[in-house]
Amino acid sequence: MQEEKEKYRRLAVVLEKYHGKAGELINVLHQAQLIFGYLPKKVQICVADALGVPISEVYGVVTFYSLFNTEPSGRYRISVCLGTACYVKGAGSIMEALKENLKVDEGGTTKDGLFTLESARCVGACGLAPVVTINGDVHGRMTADDIPELLERYRKEAEA
Amino acid sequence: MVTLTIDEQKVTVPEGTSVLEAAWKIGIDIPSLCYLKGLNEVGTCRVCVVEIEGSKTLQASCVYPVAEGLVVRTNTPRVLKARRTALQLLLSEHPQDCLSCYRNMNCELQALAHRFNILEIPFRGEKREPPNDEKSVAVMREPAKCIRCRRCIAVCSKVQQAFVYSAVHRGFDSMVSPAFGLSLDDVACITCGQCANVCPTAAIHEPDNTKEVWEALHDPEKWVVVQVAPSIRVTLGEEFGLQIGSVVTGQLVAALRRLGFDKVFDTDFTADLTIMEEGHEFLEKLKSGGPFPHLSSCSPGWVKYCEHFYPEMLEHVSTVKSPHSMFGALAKTYHAEKIGVDPARMVVVSVMPCTAKKYEINRPEMTDSGFKDVDVVITTRELARMIREAGLDFINLPEEEFDEPLGIASGAGLIFGATGGVLEAALRTIYELETGKEFPLPQYEQSLRGMDGLKEAEVEMPQGLIRVGIAHGTGNAKQILEKIKAGEKYHFVEIMGCPGGCVGGGGQPILSFRRGWEGSMDYRMDRADSLYKAEQELPYRKSHENPEIKKIYREFLGHPLSEISHKLLHTSYTARSRYPLSKTKV
């Protein structure tokens, strides 16, 4: 509860700065997501009200950009690159292996709240294809067989 | 001016005109499913593509500006193939349930499929199957039929400024939706139905209430009374192929009788009564010094807009119910008693140009008669459906007259159907009541009538000069309210929720040949003109001269603003949030 209050206090600081500036919508949503980890309805309404942008439009922007999330994400965000280079090198089977291991679909979060599985379109590391990033750390030249060990490492880290 | 060539024909048009408009001007009918002049010029449907000499790819003509010497071809094999493909792709994810569709025979997508001789749809693939939104009693959505043309977004955001819709998600998943994918009933929708009027398909329309009316008509236990709004008599004819603005009052009454209504009454009668009540309410305010401005309350779309977006102004809104709600309350009290019918078995049906009135009758306040004041509201379109279903030859029906006493009305009641009409009717009465002289209408006609978004005038009253304002379409209402909040002084402001007033209502006929006109006020003007012409033929032109109005005060209400008037004819409003959840304080 206290933590939640603190988040809204930080949001208020951002909204104060951009009050009435409709053109800053994407920027403000981005900052709000940094604070909350995702964009719950209440936060979208606060942003709409402060910037003077209709809530329908805010929701339209939030759902258009894959960068924005409307559900809380896991502690680790796994992103499988499905860009051309990674794809031809077998990223598809890596994605399948992850789905099977985590028991979630693309965009989903595991029940324990540890992992969120996503796809990306080229992270600019084609030389390392196929690539998986986890919270920004790049893991290159992956195979489906590498997945269980990789996930185990993060599970251990979380326990520690 | 710019001269260009379209299909070997030279055409000269003003700079800035689109190729589509230039082509229409010389009778070349470029098809489009998304274009609305001045409102939605976005090139999303790709059906209007043309070949332009020097351009490698086909261009969407609705967003391609003319240029000197431009050479355009609109019917080459390449163009026609591209249009067919665009249509086939749209159809490939469309439900194609045309036979049982709300817009069957009046659908722009269906019409183009016919025009392009589409006999097969070669594309097969995944279909989105979003559920229907049937929660709102006023407007329903069938998102599976949406072709994402964005007309509804344009009209709701630019004209009405209620901002209900937005394009959400992306790619194959993209669709048009209220915030958070909620029902129209759960967001700040003002239920005006303007989105339904511009929808090319059946993705947005009113819920069908004709079944309830048929059931009442076929129930021998029920005494079914119908009332028709002023504007219906100048729009219903369009549904039967008559020209825009054709006056069909006599046929309308005859048709309603043949459908089986026990009494055929006129909402114009209670429009006259509105003038008596609201006129005196305003005169009281003049006496006691306010609060000003006094805002009109006849339009439930506008009322709901005010509740959501300007709740701080609600104390300015007249407490007088809309005329059809007044009618319901009186039908089940005054009239029921008079004719000795138990109000419990009376069914009041309103034929309205309006979807918002479907919402209005379900407000908990609208039960002052001890029953639901009005039982069912059907739109002009729904009445046309019933007339067709009954097999009536509408155009050739012998003309008939409204029943007495609730069918007797003055011209002042009739002009309620057009923007400015309520205020003009009010001035005819309050000016005369206060000065003893007739309101000098000719010198005010120009400022009170017509389709300008905002109109105003000043009138010399014994109490001093009063300033009156008129706005139609809630976007214009917002403008005048902002002026008022900034300190501008008005005494009486008439606001109608729809552009043009009720003649442009969200329940009025949708005509394929009007395609693209929604941004202009032309056809609404034609309908309004007919109201002003028709009222000149009526024996009374002022509400206070209507003999039945005098009688109802004598026999039942006593005097304007009496206790019983307040009980039956006045109402209250509710402040509502503009957000789906109550706003969180930051």
Tell which residue, A104, A28, A24, has the closest CA to residue A71. A104
Q: Are residues A47 and A95 in the same domain?
A: no
Q: Which residues of B touch A41 (CB under 8 A)?
A: 180, 580-581
Q: Out of A38, A64, A90, pick the residue that ends a domain.
A: A64
Q: How confident is the model at residue A153 (pLDDT cuts 50, 70, 90)?
A: very high
Q: What pLDDT is stored for residue B513 in this prediction?
A: 63
Contacts with A, B 160-179, CB within 8 Å: 163-170, 178-179
Q: Are residues A120 and A154 in the same domain?
A: yes
Q: Do B187 and A64 touch (CB under 8 A)?
A: no
- Chain A touched by B447 (CB under 8 Å): no
Q: Which residues of B touch A58 (CB under 8 A)?
A: 179
Q: Do B584 and A57 touch (CB under 8 A)?
A: no
Which of A41, A42, A59 lies closest to B166 in CB terms?
Answer: A59
User: pLDDT (tens digit, 9 = 90+) per residue, B119-142?
Assistant: 999 998 888 889 999 999 999 999
- Would you say residue A39 lies in a domain? yes
Cα–Cα distance measured from residue B554 to residue B544, given in angstroms and rounded to the nearest whole number: 13
Q: Do B157 and A46 touch (CB under 8 A)?
A: no
Q: What is the mean predicted confidence (pLDDT) over A70-94?
A: 93
Which candidate in B158, B161, B166, B577 is best for mutational testing of the A interface (most A CBs within 10 A)? B166
Q: Do A56 and B580 touch (CB under 8 A)?
A: no
Residue B65's DSSP bridge partners are B18
Cα–Cα distance measured from residue B513 to residue B259, given in angstroms and rounded to the nearest whole number: 29
pLDDT value at B584 more than 60: no
Q: Are residues A80 and A58 in the same domain?
A: no
C-alpha separations of B254 from B212, B267, B378 in Å: 21, 16, 18
Q: Are residues A59 and A126 in the same domain?
A: no
The total number of structural domains that make up chain A: 2
Q: Are residues A144 and A82 in the same domain?
A: yes
- Would you say residue A105 lies in a domain? yes
Domain boundaries, position A155: 76-159
**Closest Cα of chain A to B216: distance in Å?**
40
Instruction: For residue B518, indicate whether it is catalytic.
Output: no
Q: What pLDDT is stored for residue B518 in this prediction?
A: 62
Lookup: tokens for B189: 């929708």
pLDDT value at B586 more than 80: no
Would you say domain B128-207 falls under CATH 3.30.70.20?
Answer: yes
Instruction: For residue B281, indicate whether it is catalytic.
Output: yes
Instruction: For residue B134, indicate whether it is catalytic.
Output: no
Which candidate in A55, A58, A67, A70 is best for mutational testing of the B interface (most B CBs within 10 A)? A55
Tell which residue, B32, B33, B3, has the closest CA to residue B15. B3
pLDDT value at B265 more than 50: yes
Strands (E), B278-399: 294-295, 346-352, 376-379
Which of A15, A58, A66 lies closest to B586 in CB terms?
Answer: A15
pLDDT value at B341 more than 80: yes
Range scoring the smallest mean pLDDT among B37-41, B272-276, B480-484: B37-41
Q: What pLDDT is stored for residue B581 in this prediction?
A: 67
C-alpha separations of B139 from A8, B210, B452 in Å: 36, 15, 27
Q: Which residues of B touch A18 (CB under 8 A)?
A: none
Q: Which residues of A touch B180 (CB under 8 A)?
A: 41, 44, 59
Q: How confident is the model at residue A2 (pLDDT cuts 50, 70, 90)?
A: confident
Kind plus residue range of the DSSP H or E element containing B360 = helix B356-360
Q: What pLDDT is stored for residue A121 in this prediction?
A: 86
Q: Are residues A41 and A87 in the same domain?
A: no
Q: Which residues of B touch A45 (CB under 8 A)?
A: 579-581, 583-584
- Would you say residue A71 lies in a domain? no
Q: Do B163 and A46 touch (CB under 8 A)?
A: no
Q: What pLDDT is stored for residue A48 in this prediction?
A: 98
Q: What pLDDT is stored for residue B143 in this prediction?
A: 97
Q: What pLDDT is stored for residue A88 in this prediction?
A: 96
Q: Are residues A82 and A147 in the same domain?
A: yes
Instruction: For residue B502, indicate whether it is catalytic.
Output: yes
Looking at B145, B263, B321, B357, which residue is catalytic?
B357
Mention the CATH class of domain B2-90: alpha beta
Q: What pLDDT is stored for residue B555 in this prediction?
A: 96
Q: What is the mean predicted confidence (pLDDT) over A65-84?
A: 91
Which of B166, B170, B586 lies closest to A11 in CB terms?
Answer: B586
- Would you say residue A69 lies in a domain? no
Q: What pLDDT is stored for residue B515 in this prediction?
A: 63
Q: Are residues A83 and A41 in the same domain?
A: no
Looking at B41, B278, B424, B456, which residue is catalytic?
B278
Confidence check on the interface: ipTM exceeds 0.95, yes or no: no
Q: What pLDDT is stored for residue B582 in this prediction?
A: 54
Q: Do B178 and A56 touch (CB under 8 A)?
A: yes
Q: What is the mean predicted confidence (pLDDT) over A39-67?
A: 96
Q: Are residues A118 and A150 in the same domain?
A: yes
Q: Do B586 and A59 touch (CB under 8 A)?
A: no
Q: Out of A42, A64, A86, pick the residue that ends a domain.
A: A64
Instruction: For residue B238, indicate whether it is catalytic.
Output: no
Instruction: For residue B357, indicate whether it is catalytic.
Output: yes
Q: Do A41 and B164 touch (CB under 8 A)?
A: no
User: pLDDT (tens digit, 9 = 90+) per residue, B154-205?
Assistant: 999 999 999 999 999 998 899 999 999 999 999 999 999 999 999 999 999 9
Which of A42, A60, A66 lies closest to B167 in CB terms?
Answer: A60
Q: What is the mean predicted confidence (pLDDT) over A84-110?
A: 94
Three-state DSSP class for residue B267: helix
Higher pLDDT, B47 or B522: B47
CATH number of the domain at B210-569, please?
A: 3.40.50.1780
Q: Where are the alpha helices (DSSP H) in A21-146?
A: 25-36, 41-51, 55-64, 84-88, 91-102
Tell which residue, B220, B436, B440, has the closest CA to residue B345. B220
Q: What pLDDT is stored for residue B583 in this prediction?
A: 42
Q: Which residues of B touch A57 (CB under 8 A)?
A: 163, 166
Q: Which residue of A has its CA nearest to B177?
A: A56
For chains A and B, CB pairs below 8 A equal: 58
Q: How confident is the model at residue B585 (pLDDT cuts 50, 70, 90)?
A: very low
User: pLDDT (tens digit, 9 = 90+) per residue, B276-293?
Assistant: 999 999 999 999 998 999
Q: Are residues A144 and A98 in the same domain?
A: yes
- Chain A touched by B579 (CB under 8 Å): yes
Q: Please state the length of chain B.
A: 586
Tell which residue, B230, B236, B258, B235, has the closest CA to residue B327. B230
Q: What pLDDT is stored for residue B235 in this prediction?
A: 97
**Closest Cα of chain A to B584: distance in Å?**
7
Q: Please, what is the average pLDDT of chain B?
A: 95
Q: What pLDDT is stored for residue B517 in this prediction?
A: 64
Three-state DSSP class for residue B379: strand
Looking at B108, B307, B360, B535, which residue is catalytic?
B360
Which of B163, B167, B586 lies closest to A12 in CB terms?
Answer: B586
Which of B168, B170, B583 lies closest to A45 in CB terms?
Answer: B583
Q: Which residue of A has its CA nearest to B189?
A: A56
Residue A85 sits in a domain of what CATH number? 3.40.30.10
Q: What is Dmax (Cα atoms) for chain A?
A: 52
CB-neighbour burial class of residue B392 (10 A; exposed 0-12, middle 13-18, buried 19+): middle
Tell which residue, B183, B223, B210, B188, has the closest CA to residue B474. B188
User: pLDDT (tens digit, 9 = 90+) per residue, B411-433?
Assistant: 999 999 999 999 999 999 999 99
Looking at B212, B365, B400, B545, which residue is catalytic?
B365
For B57-72, give the secondary structure using H, E and C: CCEEHHHCECCCCCEE
Q: Where are the alpha helices (DSSP H) in B495-562?
A: 522-536, 547-552
Q: Do B163 and A8 touch (CB under 8 A)?
A: no
Cα–Cα distance measured from residue A84 to residue A81, given in angstroms and rounded to the nearest whole number: 9
- Would you say residue A140 lies in a domain? yes
In the sheet where A115-120 sits, what is the strand order?
A115-120, A76-81, A132-134, A137-139
Q: Please, what is the average pLDDT of chain A?
A: 94
Domain boundaries, chain B: 2-90, 128-207, 210-569
Residue B454's DSSP bridge partners are B471
Q: Which residues of A touch B163 (CB under 8 A)?
A: 54-57
pLDDT value at B514 more than 70: no
Cα–Cα distance measured from residue B186 to residue B580, given in angstroms and rounded to the nearest whole number: 6
Q: What pLDDT is stored for residue B52 in this prediction?
A: 98
Say what percent of chain A tops pLDDT 70: 100
Same fold yes or no, B2-90 and B128-207: no
Q: Are residues A45 and A110 in the same domain?
A: no
Lookup: tokens for B68: 């000197």
Q: What is the mean predicted confidence (pLDDT) over A101-127?
A: 91
Q: What 8-state DSSP symbol labels residue A70?
A: S
Which candidate in B579, B581, B583, B585 is best for mutational testing of the A interface (most A CBs within 10 A)? B579
Q: Which residue of A has its CA nearest to B586?
A: A12
Kind plus residue range of the DSSP H or E element containing B493 = strand B492-496
Looking at B145, B231, B502, B542, which residue is catalytic?
B502
User: pLDDT (tens digit, 9 = 90+) per residue, B371-405?
Assistant: 999 999 999 999 999 999 999 999 999 999 999 99
User: pLDDT (tens digit, 9 = 90+) per residue, B523-578?
Assistant: 899 999 999 999 999 999 999 999 999 999 999 999 999 999 999 999 999 999 99
Q: Are residues A148 and A82 in the same domain?
A: yes
Q: What pLDDT is stored for residue A103 in this prediction?
A: 95
